[in-house]
Amino acid sequence: MSTVLALETSCDESAAAIVSGRRVLAGAVASQMEEHARWGGVVPEIASRRHVEALPALIAQVLEQSGLAMADLDAIAATVAPGLAGALLVGSVTARTLARLHGKPFLGVHHLEGHLCSVHLGEPLPEGPYLVLLVSGGHTELVKVEAPGSYLRLGRSRDDAAGECFDKVARLLGLGYPGGPAIEAAALDGDPGRFRFPKGRVSLPQGGFHPYDFSFSGLKTAVLRQVQTLSRQAGSLPVADLAASFEEVVAEVLVERSCRCAVEAGLQTIVLVGGVAANRRLRRHMSEATAARGLGWRVAPLAYCTDNAAMVGLAAIERFDAGGRSGIALGVAARLPL
């Protein structure tokens, strides 16, 4: 059973973990969210600097927690794509330097492969291929997983990612950053049926609509228009109802298209991963819709939905055990499809 030290620095969380087989021996995350919240979103330059400051202590912490020394590790891994280039470089250079120093193999991991693997940190999945709905701040994808490392994308967002849409709508409603948890909290007392927002669709050149693709930019505009109309009227903005109605339509559209995709592709299980998978309304809709169609569903453990290094470690172990190694000169890429 292989043991790796993994680093994750693709955005605004600095994270380190030690994973052995499918067990997380130690994990630590230093969030920079409060600092970025002051600016209403992630500032790349600040993110890189904070990663540089945070990583040494995080690495020391996970080594101590796990009771392991560098000599006990089989490999060292880091996220190398996609993400903020400067931020990715901090994790990657740190991991490659440690690998060189301690004579260990290095593995560069794709961030989305990390998210896909995060579900394996929870309950075991049923046998056979399954459909993953990956919903994060940067991506909204429907991916068929045949086997570890064998991925087929069946659907995606053509514009904003679902999490990005949460963040933008939260800003519009004055709810701050990150938007997902803020909208979820504000929506608790809201009426999800008060406003009817559109379920964006993607037209096909031959007519009709793409059955599994998403479009969230129109939804964001529709919320903006509604806010502008309401602002011209007397009284305060019904933020709870707006947040609940927005959250409702996002959950509906994600669940409807995932279920249709799973049924038509003959897949029995839908797996929910990524930051937006933390959303309770989305989980509730997924649970009800899959039950109604006789499908199964799983979600990554809550702590591993948002960015973390344990999922990167798991993805690295799968590659390492299959003989995969990365060159010590491997670069980073801000954009890279899975």
Task: Specify the 3-state DSSP secondary structure of 265.
Answer: coil
Binding of ligand KG4 at residue 307 (CB under 6 A)? yes
- Binding partner of residue 180 among Zn ion, ligand KG4, none, CB under 5 to 8 Å per kind? ligand KG4
Cα–Cα distance between 328 and 331 in angstroms, integer?
9
52 near 59, Cβ under 8 Å?
no
Q: Strand (E) positions, 21-171?
A: 23-31, 75-81, 106-110, 130-135, 140-147, 150-156
Q: How far is the CB of 163 from ligand KG4 (least distance, A)?
A: 3
For the bound state, the minimum distance from the C-beta of residue 316 to ligand KG4, rounded and expressed in Å, comes to: 17
Residue 332 makes contact with ligand KG4 by CB under 6 A: no
217 annotated binding-site participant: no
- Residue number with CB closer to ligand KG4 (226 or 306): 306
Contact map string, positions 134 to 173, toward Zn ion, x by CB under 5 A: --x-------------------------------------
138 known ligand binder: yes
Query: Which stretch, 22-30, 36-44, 179-187, 197-205, contacts ligand KG4 (CB under 6 A)?
Result: 179-187
CA distance 70 to 3: 10
For 7, the token pair is: 């680093």
Give the x-and-dash track for 1-40 against ligand KG4 (CB under 6 A): ----------x-----------------------------
> How many residues interact with ligand KG4 (rule CB under 6 A)?
20
Query: Looking at beta carbons only, is 12 or 241 nearer to Zn ion?
Result: 12
171-176-182 Cα angle (round to 5): 100
Residue 192 touching ligand KG4 (CB under 6 A): no
The long-range contacts involving 141-150, CB below 8 angstroms and separated by at least 24 positions, are 141/112, 141/338, 142/212, 142/257, 142/258, 142/261, 143/116, 143/338, 144/265, 144/267, 145/116, 145/271, 148/318, 148/322, 149/113, 149/318, 149/319, 149/322
Would you say 273 or 317 has its CB closer to ligand KG4?
A: 273
Whole-angstrom Cα distance, residue 180 to residue 249? 14
135 is in an annotated binding site: yes
Say how far apart CA 226 and CA 186 lie, in whole Å: 17
Using the rule CB under 6 A, is 190 a contact of ligand KG4?
no
CB of 32 closer than 8 Å to CB of 14: yes
Site string for Zn ion, 284-323 (x = CB under 5 A): -----------------------x----------------
Whole-number Cα distances in Å, 20 to 16, 65, 74, 96? 14, 13, 10, 20
Stretch that binds ligand KG4, among 22-30, 178-186, 262-270, 320-328 (CB under 6 A): 178-186
Number of helical H runs and strand E runs in the chain: 10, 10
Residue, CB closest to ligand KG4: 180
Among positions 201-260, residues that touch ligand KG4 (CB under 6 A) are none
Residues at the annotated binding site for substrate?
A: 134-138, 167, 180, 184, 279
Task: Give contact residues for ligand KG4 (rule: CB under 6 A).
Answer: 11, 136-138, 163-164, 166-167, 178-181, 184, 274-276, 278-279, 306-307
Task: Give contact residues for Zn ion (rule: CB under 5 A).
Answer: 136, 307
Residues at the annotated binding site?
A: 111, 115, 134-138, 167, 180, 184, 279, 307
